[in-house]
Structure 1
């Protein structure tokens, strides 16, 4: 097949990578829009702690997490590049009154899924050993199967491998002529509204705060899933990130806001002493969603395929979705029933 992919974020790059490995001729067009979700992603791969009850979403993300280790091993060999992938576990913090209930909820998911790893409650001493500067005010457990990856490094490695396997990567807009019968895959993220396909794509503004820990010198701290939607991720050396905001918007403005800065600074000081941290910069990404927060994966006409609405799922799911879409387009069996994600009506 001769295939054109419009959008060079993680979804588009992953689909292109898997397609060229199956012998297809693929060109990716990416106009490098500022605000691509990949560049404001913390890189957490730990879907089992979510309280979302959508079974279609959960099947997608758990199979995606299972695919990650083998995918990364192959990709790093083919690209010769590091993705920053680490299976360092995930620390989860809770309020005291729900701690035991949360522990049981996550432990139950480990019963039939070895990818989750051991789930166990931590003493304050164990928590401090794993993350010395982190507060011990909140009860904590660890999910040992949790991991992380650097979004920008992952995208760079996929792009390198894609080109090395014979794919073409054009850093410019795709000009669609009226008589163009090329098979097209749109993976345009927040800019998906330009194509006007159903379901409609909206986006949220996600801001993250980069900071340094001045007192903590450890090789690698686990991901921290803090209270509510807050997370803390160790990038490298003394560099960390805390996130994120979820602000519905029609704007494509990617300048950091004072409101988000103040919110994330206050979150930061819940978990670290102000004198132990140095705030360095803010990052902004635009994350695409459908109205049901379930990714759309499917045909919109005989010659056009769309993958969008990945939202916060994008980093975890994109490599596996890339494989599944490549299998589907080449007439091969997929692990998921992709009809579950090809919808225009509200999903339960």
Structure 2
């Protein structure tokens, strides 16, 4: 049965949900204000298997999220939408000590038994490392993980929303609010039109979920974290080859996209929250650090500084599922810096839930109700 479904938020979660809902024949309206979206400011490395985090539920989510990209890209391609925003190009992990690289190497081999997508794992030295990434300097050895990938969040969501539109979804660049009746049914309120009654609503507003639900009497355990990313573009004669992404120890990652495009970042600024202004006192040191590994970047001017706001819960756990007290309303938030890894899978699962289907992951492991509390009556 065709359902009228609104998706609030056009980032990686909302765009994926919209694509799969529209593809399934649902009547989809996407609403996004275009302000501060984490995905639009993000370029990420998809290589979750090396994490030291002990949270097994989180690891399962990001590991399956990395694997979900195969389905997502295959579905887009079958619908005539190919994208180079994603590439499985391999990853190089740089370490200060041989012991550190050996520890990560052994962890990767152990986890490869359950996650074969990890691919080849090897510690590269000397000429092997030079062959893998000729411009790289000041690195005597690195761990290579063949399954590592990179993705440009802005470009991927653009493709997903184009595909959703192809299947009939409508995209609205505007700020909305929500209203509910006594039975917990939601309506979307736009600045110019009448309230829209819906069969289901997906709230994929990321760090803005608290502001969206607060007028309805909810307290949401989500905070914003500022992230800044620098994108460099060299001249048109730059090397078109896509090299592995680089993961040094420390705050920043380096993502070569080929044809002279390199992304550097991103910052993690808890004290700045929802501030969206570029800050050279943060981005300049990021560039300086990147140049210690890739000196040729010194001659490249910053073409784009992207600023967005990530969403974190107080215990750093992502959540998704039904919103307590609201009928046929589903939400996701708290994805943090792993949003590009887990976001497409979560978007797909929310689309399934909105259609009355079951989630392939146990949603009780990521309960939205643990972070979204109805604490006051709506006026």
Please, what TM-score do these two structures have when normalized by structure 2? 0.84
2:245 paired residue number: 223
1:255 CA displacement: 1.8
* 1:296 is the counterpart of 2:319: yes
1:50 paired residue number: 51
* 1:27 is the counterpart of 2:49: no
Separation (CA, whole Å) in 2 of partners of 1:109 and 1:169:
40
- Whether contact under 8 Å (1:40, 1:208) holds in the other structure is yes
1:157 CA displacement: 1.0
Query: Superposition pairs for residues 227-238 of structure 1, below 5 Å?
Result: 227-238=249-260
1:345 CA displacement: 4.7
2:81 paired residue number: 80
- Whether contact under 8 Å (1:110, 1:119) holds in the other structure is no
Listed as ranges, the gaps of 5+ residues in structure 1 are none
- Whether contact under 8 Å (1:95, 1:138) holds in the other structure is no
Q: 1:158 to 1:71 in 2, by over 3 A?
A: same
Listed as ranges, the gaps of 5+ residues in structure 2 are 182-186, 188-196, 372-379
Alignment: residue pair count: 345
- Whether contact under 8 Å (1:198, 1:344) holds in the other structure is no
1:57 CA displacement: 0.9
Q: 1:70 to 1:247 in 2, by over 3 A?
A: same
2:307 paired residue number: 284
CA offsets per residue over residues 79-104 of structure 1, 9 Å max, x none? 53424221111111111142212211
Q: 1:101 to 1:168 in 2, by over 3 A?
A: same
Match of 1:43, SS?
strand
- Whether contact under 8 Å (2:46, 2:148) holds in the other structure is yes
2:60 paired residue number: 59
CA offsets per residue over residues 259-297 of structure 1, 9 Å max, x none? 202320231133133675424142211111111221120
1:138 CA displacement: 4.4
- Whether contact under 8 Å (1:94, 1:138) holds in the other structure is no
- Whether contact under 8 Å (1:132, 1:216) holds in the other structure is no
Question: Which residue of the other structure, out of 313, 337, 350, is the alignment partner of 1:312?
Answer: 337
2:231 paired residue number: 210
Please say which of residues 57-66 and 192-201 is displaced more in the overlay: 192-201
Query: Superposition pairs for residues 87-126 of structure 1, below 5 Å?
Result: 87-96=88-97, 97-126=99-128
Match of 1:8, SS?
coil
CA offsets per residue over residues 322-347 of structure 1, 9 Å max, x none? 2212222333332210111115558x
- Whether contact under 8 Å (2:239, 2:258) holds in the other structure is no
1:254 paired residue number: 276
- Whether contact under 8 Å (1:224, 1:231) holds in the other structure is yes
Separation (CA, whole Å) in 1 of partners of 2:176 and 2:89:
40
Please, what TM-score do these two structures have when normalized by structure 1? 0.91
Question: Which residue of the other structure, out of 295, 306, 309, is the alignment partner of 1:273?
Answer: 295
1:68 paired residue number: 69
The CA RMSD over aligned residues, in Å, is: 2.3
Q: 1:229 to 1:251 in 2, by over 3 A?
A: closer
1:9 paired residue number: 11
1:206 CA displacement: 0.9
